[in-house]
A = this chain, B = another copy of it.
Amino acid sequence: MPQFLNAQDADFESRFTALLSAKREDSPDVDAVVAGIIADVQTRGDAAVIELTSKFDRLDLTPETLRFSEEEIDALCAQVTPDERAALELAAARIRAYHARQMPQDESWTDDSGATLGWRWTAVSAAGLYVPGGLASYPSSVLMNAIPAKVAGVGRLAIVVPTPDGEANPLVLLAARLAGVDEVYRIGGAQAVAALAYGTDTIAPVDKITGPGNAFVAAAKRRVFGKVGIDMIAGPSEILVIADKDNNPDWIALDLLSQAEHDESAQSILITDDAAFGRAVSNAVEARLETLERRAIAGASWRDFGAVITVPDLDTAAKLSDRIAPEHLELCVADPDTLSEKITHAGAIFLGQFTPEAIGDYVGGPNHVLPTARSARFSSGLSVMDFLKRTTLSKMTPEGLRAIGPAAETLAQSESLEAHGLSVTARLDALNK
């Protein structure tokens, strides 16, 4: 059973605060091991990667077989059923169309002083994408990471994906191909992150690494940050559903379970303005848990971190939602657009009862890599911006320098940075001769 809270109860504030601060993840401290692996790859390159792959993935590679050949990828892609291929193609097209709209504009203008100012966006030259192996090897995540990179204009996009015992997921390879990935390596763990960051004889280094992974991968990404850019370190998944009584309790139950089934540490919360509806949803969850394939995982998540919160009105629901700052927020209410305008902090909002969160995981178009653990207060989901950087541009005229240069001289003097000031003074002296 999940927790039941009522916003009008005397103990609500303390219970809600406890819910917000519940520690859901206990990451093992693998930092020392990871530091050793990274140093090894830096020193010995391919040899270290090959040795570690043999040890962890029980797979013997050579520098020639680290990378999937095009023929191998062809053969694996051919194993994908037509239905699955069509579904991946639909997803890829929709994700590409959504992210194409995110491309920012370059700007340039001339201001009153005569200065020409602006900025220019350019793509990261080379990016690497980590794809987990085994159970959590999701082709949808390949699309969600790789397509924004390619839309942004990344020239070289490499994927690393471990294939324990040599077993590869054909859908991951097809997703990579549909997304335009340039290179796929069958390696994983901290050694794969190190190879991408520092390069080996076989694998050229990249400038940015994105994608989910286990504790070793997360620790490796933290360690190589600075040498390369990284995306966020994602925590367990979360969903908040705000629903009124005019919903099918079973639909809402399935939406809550679709996050709960990811991970025992996932968190699913329902906020409703009707206590009886909340109980009906809770009952529907229990009913579905009886037969769900991943009921052990989903049941543990729902029992340990699930919550049903009753509120007097939807305004209160919006306020609580902003305190949760959910990764995924479903608004299953009569007027979801109006309620949406009251929300400030959320990774992704799904409006109305015909927009289950799972649509966003696969085919909606927006990215499914979203801020977790309340970080939607200050960060955003993955986008083309993660693969772009902005160079600012300034060009002064002699007249412009005359107009604003003296202020720079004054401030340089205030900050005791004499050469800063002199670099302006020398030019003004020449202009004023």
CB-CB < 8 A to A415: which residues of B? 138-140
A61 close to B (CB within 8 Å)? no
CB-CB < 8 A to A124: which residues of B? 377-378
Q: Are A420 and B361 in contact (CB under 8 A)?
A: yes
A334 close to B (CB within 8 Å)? no
CB-CB < 8 A to A393: which residues of B? 340, 348-349, 351, 366
Query: Which residue of B is nearest A135, CB measured?
Result: B416
Query: Which residue of B is nearest A169, CB measured?
Result: B414
A214 close to B (CB within 8 Å)? no
Q: Are A87 and B410 in contact (CB under 8 A)?
A: yes
- Report Cα–Cα, A420/B356, bound state, in Å: 9
A412 close to B (CB within 8 Å)? yes
A90 close to B (CB within 8 Å)? yes
CB interface residues, A 379-429, toward B, < 8 Å: 379-381, 383, 385, 389-398, 400-401, 404-408, 410-412, 414-424, 426-427
CB interface residues, A 138-156, toward B, < 8 Å: 138-140
Query: Which residue of B is nearest A121, CB measured?
Result: B380
A292 close to B (CB within 8 Å)? yes
Q: Are A355 and B396 in contact (CB under 8 A)?
A: yes
Q: Are A394 and B258 in contact (CB under 8 A)?
A: no
Looking at A47-55, A70-78, A111-119, the stretch in contact with chain B turns out to be A111-119
- Report Cα–Cα, A139/B413, bound state, in Å: 12
Within the complex, which residue of B373, B405, B410 is in contact with A226, where a contact is CB–CB below 8 Å?
Answer: B373
- Also in contact, A354 and B400, with CB within 8 A (given A344-B122, A347-B391, A377-B124): yes
- Report Cα–Cα, A98/B124, bound state, in Å: 24
- Also in contact, A398 and B348, with CB within 8 A (given A365-B115, A392-B367): no
Nearest Cβ on chain B to A146's Cβ, whole angstroms: 15
Query: Which residue of B is nearest A377, CB measured?
Result: B207
Q: Are A288 and B419 in contact (CB under 8 A)?
A: yes
Q: Are A349 and B394 in contact (CB under 8 A)?
A: yes
Q: Are B115 and A83 in contact (CB under 8 A)?
A: no
How many A residues are at the interface, by size bracket?
35 or more
Looking at A4-12, A157-165, A249-257, the stretch in contact with chain B turns out to be A249-257
Q: Are B356 and A423 in contact (CB under 8 A)?
A: yes
Q: Are A260 and B407 in contact (CB under 8 A)?
A: no
Query: Which residue of B is nearest A358, CB measured?
Result: B420
A346 close to B (CB within 8 Å)? yes
CB-CB < 8 A to A422: which residues of B? 254, 257-258, 288
Q: In the complex, which of the residues A208, A337, A401, A419 has the most CB atoms of chain B within 10 Å of its own CB atom?
A: A419
CB-CB < 8 A to A430: which residues of B? 248
Within the complex, which residue of B261, B355, B367 is in contact with A395, where a contact is CB–CB below 8 Å?
Answer: B355
Copies of this chain present in the complex amount to 2
CB-CB < 8 A to A408: which residues of B? 87, 358-359, 361-363
Within the complex, which residue of B251, B352, B357, B395 is in contact with A352, where a contact is CB–CB below 8 Å?
Answer: B395
Nearest Cβ on chain B to A270's Cβ, whole angstroms: 14
Query: Which residue of B is nearest A359, CB measured?
Result: B408
Q: Are B90 and A407 in contact (CB under 8 A)?
A: yes
CB-CB < 8 A to A401: which residues of B? 354-355, 359
A63 close to B (CB within 8 Å)? no
A91 close to B (CB within 8 Å)? yes
A194 close to B (CB within 8 Å)? no
Q: In the complex, which of the residues A122, A262, A364 has the most CB atoms of chain B within 10 Å of its own CB atom?
A: A364
Within the complex, which residue of B87, B251, B378 is in contact with A426, where a contact is CB–CB below 8 Å?
Answer: B251
CB interface residues, A 173-199, toward B, < 8 Å: none
- Report Cα–Cα, A164/B349, bound state, in Å: 47
- Also in contact, A407 and B363, with CB within 8 A (given A254-B419, A355-B394): yes
CB-CB < 8 A to A208: which residues of B? 378
A36 close to B (CB within 8 Å)? no
- Also in contact, A392 and B347, with CB within 8 A (given A208-B378, A363-B407, A411-B363): yes
Q: Are B292 and A364 in contact (CB under 8 A)?
A: no
6 contacts between A and B (CB under 8 A): A125-B377, A229-B379, A356-B427, A357-B423, A358-B423, A362-B420
